[in-house]
A = this chain, B = another copy of it.
Amino acid sequence: MKQKPTLKVIAKELDVSVSTVSKALRDSKEIGEKTKERVKAFARLYNYRPNNIALSLKNKKTKTLGVIIPEIVHHFFTTVISGIEKFANEQGYNVIVGLSNESFDKEVINLDMLANGSIDGFILSVAKETLAKEDFHHIAETIDQGIPIVMFDRVIDEIPCDKVIVDDVATSKKAVQQLINSGCKKIGIISTMDYVSVGKLRTRGYMEALNHNDISVDFNAILKIDDEFHAANEHEALEKQIQTYFKTNPDLDGVFAVNEIYAITAMKIARKMGKSIPEDIQFIGFTDGVLSQHAYPPLTTVSQHGFEMGEEAARLLIERLEKQDEETESYQTVVVNTAIVERDTTK
């Protein structure tokens, strides 16, 4: 087992000082050519690599980003991570991930664990429980300690920081309009509880589309899924809620769902009730993932471009980190555009 050489051992071995070694490796002009060569050759031979931790301590920056998301087993989030990773790596940054599992406490712990110098900044999508509690002190405190945060997807309006979102209202309006254009007369929405910002906004877009077409909104056609945080039978509960929803709304011929799972589950249930898609009832989902692509029939969705969101988030964060405190320009909110990808659940 070869131990990693340090500057000190190289120095001793070559009988020069540590500073000479350091400077030689960084090609300082203070050091003579022959010594430089000697040092570099030795370093190459023993495969010297500067110790990252020591550098972090010295420079007071770790070159790593902390990404905290509610759930990793989720196509949208992993796409975002891919985008973050790509951009971050290109800039020489690493990515450390924390999972909140939609839990407030775990979010706090994760923030805390990493805010002790392990990372330079956070990219965060807020846990549902946190949104429900409306307790954001941990986030505010982190920012207050000088650690920048970029929020994406699930953001908090009250917290001033960089944000990456899609225009949920406009996009949803567009999606519902598409349903209307395809001949739907009675359109429903399957959304989340209002405390989830995106659910609220998408519902607003839904209503705006209806209003815009002089269709009165039927509040019974608005389903807000109440998901217990991590009940074991989560998925059964979801099915049950959608089932009763369809029963109370038998005349639905179009459904807009705010995520893939809701859409696909609804489709499954509709099919079970004997409806054919898209003849009897049409569907559009939000967030384009593998599930939608491979669903039966393939689901028409609005694509959020998660990869791009990740890249943007990483870009915002790294730019702020590198700018340091020079110019503390104000916070940006980047809106990445969306696209409806038409597949077989719409006419």
Flag if B98 contacts A94 (CB, 8 Å): yes
Flag if B94 contacts A118 (CB, 8 Å): yes
Q: Roughly how many angstroms separate A85 CA and B82 CA in the complex, as a whole number?
A: 18
Identify which of A82, A96, A112 gathers the most chain B CB atoms within 10 Å of its CB: A96
Flag if A1 contacts B145 (CB, 8 Å): yes
Q: A82-B99, A94-B96 are in contact. Are A294 and B264 (CB under 8 A)?
A: yes
What 0/1 readout, one digit per residue, does chain A (288-323) give for beta carbons within 8 Å of chain B? 001100111000000000000000000000000000
Copies of this chain, how many?
2
Flag if A53 contacts B57 (CB, 8 Å): yes
Chain B residues with Cβ under 8 A from A291's Cβ?
290-291, 294
Q: Which residues of A are in contact with B by a Cβ distance under 8 Å?
A: 1-4, 47, 49-54, 56-57, 62, 64, 72-75, 78-79, 81-82, 85, 89, 94-99, 109, 112-118, 141, 144-146, 261, 264-265, 268, 290-291, 294-296
Flag if A97 contacts B99 (CB, 8 Å): no
Q: Roughly how many angstroms separate A150 CA and B125 CA in the complex, as a whole number?
A: 30
| Closest chain B residue to A264, Cβ basis | B294
Q: Which 5 A-B pairs have the closest CB atoms?
A: A296-B296, A96-B96, A52-B116, A51-B117, A53-B117
